[in-house]
Structure 1
Amino acid sequence: MQDSLVLTIFSSVDVFVVSQFFMKFVLDPAVALKESLGEMSHFFLFNQAKITNAHGSDDLQEGVKRLSAQLLAKKEAVPGYSVFSRVLSLPKETALIEAAKELNLISYHLMQNTPAPGGNSGLDSAIVINRSMRRIQEKTGTRVSYE
């Protein structure tokens, strides 16, 4: 009787410790990544007119850069991302890297007082930004436009 009671207690403690470990080191970072994707969606939807028309401010440009860095940082916080991304319905690692690149491209095209490469107009920048936004939406499954 005593042995089974001690075994039950140790088993319960082991299950608790393992579940807490999983929650703190896998689930919490995965939730933070999902929150980051939601923040990206909010940012793009809230600022859509300025972004899609390539009329950005320094703050807007910095916001896009921050989202790019944050996306990759949150991904790195999830240990065994390639395994847990499937289980937790997270975007593929390569998709997040591509989305971060697209965010950096958008940030570049939002720069004020900087001529676009080859003398392209603001219209060309707007086209590039809209194309990048579609790619981000495809790669991450996160809504970044009202289309």
Structure 2
Amino acid sequence: MLKSLKFFAPVLIPSWRFFDTIAASPRIEFALLGAADETAADWQEFRPRPQNLSFGTVLRRLFWNPNWNDTLFLTSCAERLLENPTEHSVTEISTRIAASLNPAEGDEFFQFRLVLISRAGDDLQKEVAYISPRQLMTRPGA
């Protein structure tokens, strides 16, 4: 009995050493490009967090929030991409960005990057940790 309680205790009492390291969570930014050789300049945050939420929205999101679950998955892909780059992580992030874009006429490509935001005193510093290869835009119905 005591031996089985020893195995069950970690489930009931979480460990403070749950995470191996505590580091900045990567943010995903994207830029639309007109040509494959164009340099990205106008970076935009992908799925920015809302500044304010009503109490009702917060309450509803406690029980139903599929968009946030997808955003957490993308954050996990971004973290894996920084640790051990794989084509899978690049594809997952690119697919979701491409599906959410409504490109203007002339935008044929897009690119994403991962940035780490850290605090230095009262200032926020942004460090670009990864820049993806250019991705061809896929248009619905094309």
Assess same fold via TM > 0.5.
no
State TM-score, norm by structure 2.
0.25
| Greater radius of gyration (CA) | 1
Q: Which structure: greater strand fraction?
A: 2
State TM-score, norm by structure 1.
0.24
Q: Which structure: greater helix fraction?
A: 1
